[in-house]
Amino acid sequence: MRRVFFNVLLIILAFTIQNCIFPLLPFLSASPNLLLILTFSFGFMHGKEAGMYYGLLSGLLMDLFYTGPFGFYTLIFLYVGYVNGICTKYYYEDYITLPLILSVLNELAYNFYIYVFRFLIRQKLRIGYYFVNIVLPEIIFTVVTTLLLYRVFLILNRHLEDIGKRGDSNIV
């Protein structure tokens, strides 16, 4: 229960930082997608169901904040949580290569989804410009941020599991 509460607080904090602080930093041409990092990390560490729940929360926050059809972001975040939850059988705590690859793939899928349903539908066909000026810098920032934050999530996850195990042993 503590882990869920703490993870929800992390998602709300990441949403706040991503939407209120990162746009104010003038040296960032693109910002890392913290909600995507959290959703795929939780899905990867805890499985499909947890990934979908955290994806639902992240997507709802994005849908409430941005205009457009309600459920637009929720759908992509649900898929990200589910697909990364499938990869949980390959989860090893000290294995960083797969999370970095998943970070790149998730960012590509997320930006392709946005391109198709926000730009391509309106016949804006400059995918090369979109990829070079928006997607590529965001992928780089997200992968570097994933490299830094994933270890922190592992340490926090391990700490919360230890607290949960100590609490369970006190009950018995």
- According to the CATH classification, is domain 2-171 in 1.10.1760? yes
Hey, where are the domains in the chain? Answer: 2-171
DSSP string, 19-70: IIIGGG-TT-SS---HHHHHHHHHHHHH-HHHHHHHHHHHHHHHHHHS-SST
What pLDDT is recorded for position 88?
84
Q: Model's pTM, two decimal places?
A: 0.88
Query: Tens digit of pLDDT for each residue in 99-158?
Result: 899 999 999 999 999 999 988 888 888 888 889 988 999 999 999 999 988 888 888 888
